[in-house]
Structure 1
Amino acid sequence: MKGKELNRAIITISLVGVLVSTYALYVELLADLRPGYKAMCDISEHASCSKVLTSKYAKGLGLVPEGSPFKVPNCVYGIIFYCIIIFLTTYDHLMAVRLQLGLSAMSLVICVYLAYLLIFILKDFCVVCVSTYVVNIANTFLIKKKHTYVMTKNK
């Protein structure tokens, strides 16, 4: 893939991430407002995104103390993350790509942590959550390719 194609792919996959995260925020807000709310992603008792998105781990990664201004829904962090990735994609400078690579690697670490919580603590399956994991893996793969491309272009 060439530089422009990689940039388009990264932006496209990041826009999918923004959409999935926005839907997660929608589900989370509606579930808070309407007890008993059933989202489209609630497939069964053990595959319920609204159950996961209203758990104590759905805000501040379950790590931020109550009352902190950083105790916001995880999906808000996701939306911000994808917007930063989109913004950085407009630059083909090595430092911008390295920053993207670092951020995407950090997103994978967070995905592993959240997947652990999903499987072993909440014992649930969340289609929305798993979708963001897939988006983050794809983004990291594409950003790694862009890093290689920029490195060879700068030689």
Structure 2
Amino acid sequence: MSKLNGINFALTLSSFIGLGLSIYSYFIEQQDESYKAYCDISDVISCSKTFKSKYGTGFGIIEDIFGENFFLNKPNSLLGIVTYSVLIVLSQLNNKPSTTFHFICSILSVILSAFLAYMMVFKVKTICVICLSTYVVNISNFLLSRTKLKILSKEKVKRI
């Protein structure tokens, strides 16, 4: 059980970091053009430019598929706030269904991270330090939730 406690702590910490990054991202998005964020280092290294691009809302694809008024066509940071909040709660639960859901959310997050990283570099032509940090959080959550799922699966087998 101590191994699970360590993984739960790491998952919780990682998700809190993701939540903090998402809150900061949302704050930046709400500012006017005169605001200079700490992560706006140059024209190429700019969080604001990335967040305010087409890909900063609904991953740049929700509006194209479902329309502007679709409920998920929100700033990515707002979707991150909701997702990381759910993952924080799921990180505390030591059962296979909640960990499986956490793992599936992590897989989707990694896929979206890869997509957004590609769009950031090749379409928006910027580097966003906050975005890159979020991608690291998503990869960490994926690896940790996979490990937790393996541990829970082994414990189940031992009980039988």
TM-score of the aligned structures, taking structure 1 as reference length: 0.93
What CA distance in whole angstroms lies between the structure 1 residues aligned with 2:71 and 2:149? 34
Tell me the SS of whatever aligns to 2:62.
coil
Identity of aligned residues (%): 34
Answering whether residue 13 of structure 2 is matched by residue 12 of structure 1, we say yes
Amino acid at match of 1:7: N
Which residue matches 2:115? 113
Which residue matches 1:23? 24
Answering whether residue 80 of structure 2 is matched by residue 78 of structure 1, we say yes
Tell me the SS of whatever aligns to 1:44.
coil
Is contact 2:12–2:92 with CA below 8 Å preserved after alignment? no
Tell me the SS of whatever aligns to 1:47.
coil
TM-fit CA distance, 1:153: 1.3
Which residue matches 1:88? 90
Which residue matches 1:148? 150
What CA distance in whole angstroms lies between the structure 1 residues aligned with 2:58 and 2:4? 35
Give structure 1 stretches of 5+ with no counterpart. none
Answering whether residue 44 of structure 2 is matched by residue 46 of structure 1, we say yes
Aligned pair count reads: 152
Answering whether residue 142 of structure 2 is matched by residue 133 of structure 1, we say no
Give structure 2 stretches of 5+ with no counterpart. none
TM-fit CA distance, 1:38: 1.2
Tell me the SS of whatever aligns to 1:2.
helix
2:71 corresponds, among 69, 72, 75, to: 69
Deviation digits for residues 38-91 of structure 1 (CA, Å, limit 9, x no counterpart): 110001110010111111111111112223332211011111111111111222
What CA distance in whole angstroms lies between the structure 1 residues aligned with 2:90 and 2:104? 12
Q: CA RMSD in A?
A: 1.2
